[in-house]
């Protein structure tokens, strides 16, 4: 087997023929840096190379990329593109304090906590951003309440805002078109929208649907990077809105570059609801974060999840339960694309979340 390394490709020659692996235009290899070349049975070729990426790896904050206080914005359901809130003018976009801010206030104040029992609810033209959600004021003049025979009072919004609320026994906010859970009602005037379910864009911009897998990966990866940078937190517990823990995540690094040809993964089943099948044969290079993960569904890793839950260095991210399962599916599929020898680190599974 002869291996040729060129700046834009790798070429493998055998007695059976020649295979050339091309790289995206923005990525270049340094052939003289090649080392550690070996063939691992069941894996294939392993080698180390220095690479140069010709595009910016600077992250755009997930908390600031969508909502900036200036113009009118439209809220869309990410899954189907339905307009949820149209032409909302945002005068203030502010980050919420961490979950334990009340405890910190108590430590710093020498007098009774002035913020005790005072929830932070946005006003009509506010948008508050949390770790994985937006808080938005629901203008009461848009509500058209309607009583049903069931003991639950249901509010159906006008055609401008396509979701329905069940604020008593069920706090879910559901997209009227695709029935996906978008968030929860926090009060009669405040809604929590999860970042994985909502796209916020300036009203003059046309909406285009992003493949679900790509969008969810990007949001989760950017949340991990933001939180690790701001709070020096590298271990995360992904839990559903039902308070069940679904995944334990350990962020290893945030400066990876993943180059893949989706068409080469013939043994990996593709899910049309999660990815863009039309681009299955293209080669792409994307920034990514490398994570270790442990599934916690069906009582798996129960002891580890319990120990992480009591560890103050572990940060919890809450998402809709269905989205937690999507994230687990994405991690499992990404793990399956790695060579068998690189899929595990100790008892944890390895995956890359692309941004």
Q: Are residues 258 and 145 in the same domain?
A: no
What span, in angstroms and rounded, lies between the C-alpha atoms of 95 and 212?
Answer: 26
Q: Are residues 192 and 133 in the same domain?
A: yes
Q: Are residues 238 and 287 in the same domain?
A: yes
Q: Are residues 112 and 182 in the same domain?
A: yes
- Give the DSSP H/E element, type plus range, for residue 245: strand 245-261
Q: Are residues 20 and 134 in the same domain?
A: no
Residue 161 lies in a domain: no
What span, in angstroms and rounded, lies between the C-alpha atoms of 279 and 27?
Answer: 19
Q: What is the pLDDT of residues 4-16, one digit of tens each?
A: 999 999 898 989 9
Supply the mean pLDDT for the chain: 81
Q: Are residues 83 and 137 in the same domain?
A: yes
Q: What is the pLDDT of residues 36-66, one digit of tens each?
A: 999 898 888 899 999 888 765 555 444 344 4
253 band by pLDDT with thresholds 50, 70 and 90: very high
Q: How far is CA 326 from CA 76, 174, 201, 216, 323, in A?
A: 20, 18, 24, 8, 5
Residue 29 lies in a domain: yes
- Percent of the chain topping pLDDT 90: 45
Residue 59 lies in a domain: no
Q: Are residues 125 and 217 in the same domain?
A: no
Question: Count of CB atoms within 10 A of residue 305's CB?
Answer: 21
Domain range spanning residue 300?
A: 212-264+273-354
Q: Report whether pLDDT(181) > 70.
A: yes
Q: Is 123 left (phi over 0), alpha (psi -120 to 50) or beta?
A: beta
Residue 60 lies in a domain: no
Model-level pTM?
A: 0.82
What span, in angstroms and rounded, lies between the C-alpha atoms of 172 and 186?
Answer: 10
Q: Are residues 216 and 350 in the same domain?
A: yes
Q: What is the pLDDT of residues 132-161, one digit of tens each?
A: 999 999 864 454 332 222 233 333 333 344
* Total domains present in the chain: 3
What span, in angstroms and rounded, lies between the C-alpha atoms of 11 and 42?
Answer: 20
Q: Is 44 left (phi over 0), alpha (psi -120 to 50) or beta?
A: left
Average pLDDT of the residues in 340-348: 94
Q: Are residues 237 and 344 in the same domain?
A: yes
Q: Are residues 247 and 315 in the same domain?
A: yes
Q: Are residues 189 and 246 in the same domain?
A: no
């Amino acid at each position: 087997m002869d291996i040729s390394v060129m700046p834009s490709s790798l070429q493998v020659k055998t007695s059976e023929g020649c295979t050339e692996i091309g790289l995206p235009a923005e990525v270049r290899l340094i052939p003289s840096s090649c080392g550690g070349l070996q063939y691992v049975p069941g894996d294939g070729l392993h080698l180390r190379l220095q690479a140069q990426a010709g595009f910016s790896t600077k992250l755009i904050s997930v908390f600031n990329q969508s909502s900036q206080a200036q113009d009118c914005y439209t809220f869309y359901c990410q899954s189907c593109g339905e307009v949820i809130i149209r032409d909302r003018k945002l005068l203030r976009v502010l980050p919420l304090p961490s979950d334990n801010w009340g405890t910190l206030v108590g430590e710093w104040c020498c007098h009774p906590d002035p913020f005790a029992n005072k929830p932070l609810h946005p006003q009509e033209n506010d948008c508050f951003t949390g770790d994985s959600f937006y808080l938005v004021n629901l203008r009461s003049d848009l509500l058209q309440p309607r009583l049903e025979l069931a003991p639950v009072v249901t509010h159906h919004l006008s055609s401008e805002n396509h979701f329905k609320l069940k604020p008593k026994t069920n706090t879910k906010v559901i997209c009227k078109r695709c029935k996906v859970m978008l968030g929860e009602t926090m009060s009669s005037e405040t809604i929590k929208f999860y970042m994985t379910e909502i796209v916020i864009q300036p009203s003059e911009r046309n909406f285009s649907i992003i493949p679900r897998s790509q969008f969810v990966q990007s949001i989760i990866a950017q949340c991990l990077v933001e939180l690790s940078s701001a709070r020096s937190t590298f271990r995360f517990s992904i839990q559903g809105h039902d308070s069940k823990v679904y995944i334990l995540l350990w962020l290893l690094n945030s400066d990876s570059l993943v180059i893949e040809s989706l068409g080469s993964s013939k043994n990996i089943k593709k899910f049309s609801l999660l990815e863009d099948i039309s681009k299955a044969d293209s080669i792409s290079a994307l920034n990514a974060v490398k994570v270790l993960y442990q599934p916690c569904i069906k009582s798996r890793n129960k002891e580890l999840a319990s120990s992480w839950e009591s560890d103050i260095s572990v940060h919890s991210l809450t998402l809709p339960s269905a989205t937690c399962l999507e994230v687990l599916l994405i991690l499992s599929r990404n793990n399956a694309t790695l060579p068998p020898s690189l899929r595990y680190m100790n008892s944890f599974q390895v995956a890359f979340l692309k941004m």
